Structures are given as C-alpha cells and as structure tokens.
Amino acid sequence: MTPDTAGAPNIFDSGLTTPDFAACISMNLQPVRLVQGYYCGQISSWSAYSGYPVRNYPCACAEMDMHTTGWVGRVDDLDRAWMGAHQTALDRMLQEAATLGAHGVVGVTTEMSHPTNANSCEVHLYGTAVLSPGARAPQQVWSTQLAGHKLAKLVETGYVPSSVAYSRCTAMLVEGCNMEYYGSGRCGTGYIINPIQDAHSLARSGAIEVARQMSQGVSLYGVSMEVHETEGRGTSYVTCSLRGSLVRRVRATLPLGPPVTTVSLAS
C-alpha cells in the first residue's frame, strides 16, 4: 500500500481490536496504517565504577571486624542510554506517521530487550496511525498507549493525549560482604537486609522522579511499572522502568448527566 492510498476510507492497516477500532471511528479518528519505530544498538560495557554512590551501609557482620562497608548508588549513564534509545524509536515512529498525514498514533506498544547480550539494546514501538478527516495538519503528531473506550473517556473528561512516556532508574548495590552470610547463623536469623530495600526504593523513586521531570506542564496517565533485579558477584542491580501517556487538559470536565433507566427489574 502506498501513502497515496493509505488515507482511502476503505484501505487501512490496524493493530486495534474490534472494540478499539469502533471507538476510534466514533471519535472521528480514521485508522490509516500500522506504523513503527525501531532502534538496535550496543551499549558500551560498564562496571561498578560507573555507579554514583548515594549512601553507604555497614555489613551485618561488621562487629566481627571481617568485612568492609558497601554502598548503594545510581547508574545514570546506563539509564540515559536506554531512554535515548526509546526516544529515537519514538521519533522514527512519529516521523512515519507524519509522512502519512496522520494526526496521532494510538495503541502504542513498547517492546524492549537484549537481543544478543547484556550490553545490547533493542527498542521497538508500534501503533496505529489515525487521522481526523477535515482537521488541519498538526504541528506535532501525538501518540498514546491508550485506544478504544479508554481514549474516548479521556477526551470526554477534557484531556487529549500528547506523547507516550518512558523513564527508568537503575540502582547498584555493591556489597561490603558476602550476602550468603545473612541467615547462615553468623548474623542471626531474621536479620533485615536494609541495603536491598534501599536499592529497590532508590530505583522506584528515581524512575518516578525522572518521569515527573519529563511531564512538566502536562499530566502522566495510565502509569505502569516493571522492576527487574539481577545479581552478580558482589554486585546487584535493581532496574525500575515506568511507562505511561502524557496528557494535557484542553477544557473543563463536563458534568455527568443524570442516569437513564434502560432496564427495569420490577415484576
């Protein structure tokens, strides 16, 4: 299919379900084509020296004078690399939508992986480009993870989508001793391992902080968080990824009308 025929009323590609497709039509959004953005690259290798210490902590066995303290920190360079890869893939998807004359991209799905090894980076975004017949061309194509009735309800409450959002924060936990000592009898049963809690807290709060910096002047809607923990010899990593849709208010929320009885259960 060529761009000349992509806007024809009966010719389109779509990744939408039937209900989501019907909701788009009801909002005067004509599906045009399935568009995608892709990025694949290699992230330079990194080590414990790449981390930025935030706080130190004593080992549980420190009273035995056998171990040194450890620390919890952030790996900002790694996170910036992944967020940059996501932005590149997003820009490429929006550029493809713009060449079709689309106004936005709905139902955006994000896939991120390591295709070859731990240092490889693959980001794939795809969604359905839509246009509003008769509307003027936008200065910037908008995008959203939402589709169907969720998007319709968002617009109904006075908001419109702006862009998909992605942020992440990786916390590094450098051990001051072997964690196997915990619970082995040397430190006592039931000892709370605060450094692991601190690493998770740092990763989650950091991802939210970055997302809030991105969403200045707009709101973040439909947030989902994923947390992954990997362990190495003497070093552990906790990564929190946050995804959502940036939305902005264009009018006040309209008052809800009184409920209308459709079925009576009275005998």
Q: From CA 148, how far away is CA 23, in angstroms rounded?
A: 5
Q: From CA 162, how far away is CA 104, in angstroms rounded?
A: 9
Partner residues linked to 57 by β-bridges: 70
Q: What local confidence, expressed as pLDDT, does residue 34 receive?
A: 93
Q: For residue 186, what are the contacts with CB-CB under 8 A and spacing of at least 6? A: 61, 64
Q: How many residues does the chain have?
A: 267
> Is residue 32 in some structural domain?
yes
Q: For residue 188, what are the contacts with CB-CB under 8 A and spacing of at least 6? A: none
What would the pLDDT profile of 45-70 be if each residue is shown by its tens digit?
655 456 778 888 766 555 555 556 77
Are 69 and 59 in contact, with CB atoms under 8 Å apart?
Answer: yes
Domain total for the chain?
1
Q: CB neighbours (10 Å) of residue 190?
A: 7
CATH number, domain containing residue 65: 3.30.110.70
> Is residue 254 in some structural domain?
no
Strands 120-131 and 219-231: unpaired
Ranges under pLDDT 50 in the chain? 1-7, 48, 180-185
Q: From CA 179, how far away is CA 126, in angstroms rounded?
A: 42
Closest CA to 110 of 96, 123, 119, 98: 123
> Is residue 256 in some structural domain?
no
The gap between the terminal CA atoms of the chain, to the nearest Å, is 57
Which residue type sits at 102? A
> Is residue 264 in some structural domain?
no
What would the pLDDT profile of 115-149 be if each residue is shown by its tens digit?
777 778 899 999 999 998 888 877 889 999 999 88
Q: What local confidence, expressed as pLDDT, does residue 230 receive?
A: 85
Are 153 and 245 in contact, with CB atoms under 8 Å apart?
Answer: no
Q: Give per-residue burial for 206-215: e unless 16+ CB within 10 Å, then b.
A: bbbebbeebb
Domain that holds residue 74: 3-249
> Is residue 88 in some structural domain?
yes
Q: At what angle do helices 18-26 and 148-156 cross, to 10 degrees?
A: 30
Q: What local confidence, expressed as pLDDT, does residue 190 receive?
A: 56
> Is residue 258 in some structural domain?
no
Say whether pTM exceeds 0.85.
no
Q: What local confidence, expressed as pLDDT, does residue 177 receive?
A: 62
Are 27 and 59 in contact, with CB atoms under 8 Å apart?
Answer: no
> Is residue 74 in some structural domain?
yes
> Is residue 261 in some structural domain?
no
